[in-house]
Amino acid sequence: MEDAPIAVFRSESHSGRSRKVRKKSGKKTGIIILSVVIVLIFAAAILAAIFWLKKENTQKKFDTHIEKGQKYLEEMDYEKAADNYLAAIDIDPKAEDPYMKLADLYLEIDQPENAAIVLKKGCKEYRQPGDEKSI
């Protein structure tokens, strides 16, 4: 009988210690989870900034090629103008403007066949899914 109260005392003492250990490990787990969440938020912000900068840089290159193409067209340097419009098409094949400018250039230098080819290519790139029209 004497052992019973000691066993009860030990189990109460042991469960009290267990609660303290659980509280400490719960705090550690919370800190770890919070740290991981913060790191993930920073990583997401960095990735978003990289993608935004890349897109902005690509748009600048596209605009520069369009502007150079126009400049060379005004100077009647048709080869350089065409090269810049083609570079703009390579950057953004779905953009309408470089196809139209390149086709206009070909018409200006009396190459309607090339203008037609460029416009057909542009229509194929620009066509939306479900568009039934034949080009």
Neighbour tally for 89: CB within 10 Å = 22
Q: What is the DSSP string of 98-125?
A: HHHHHHHHHHHTT-HHHHHHHHHHHHHH
Whole-number pLDDT of residue 94:
92
Task: Write the DSSP symbol of residue 130.
Answer: T
CB 72 within 8 A of CB 80: yes
Whole-number pLDDT of residue 30:
85
Whole-number pLDDT of residue 134:
43
Query: Consecutive 10-residue runs of the chain (135 residues): their mean pLDDT?
Result: 49 51 72 91 88 84 96 96 96 94 96 96 74 47
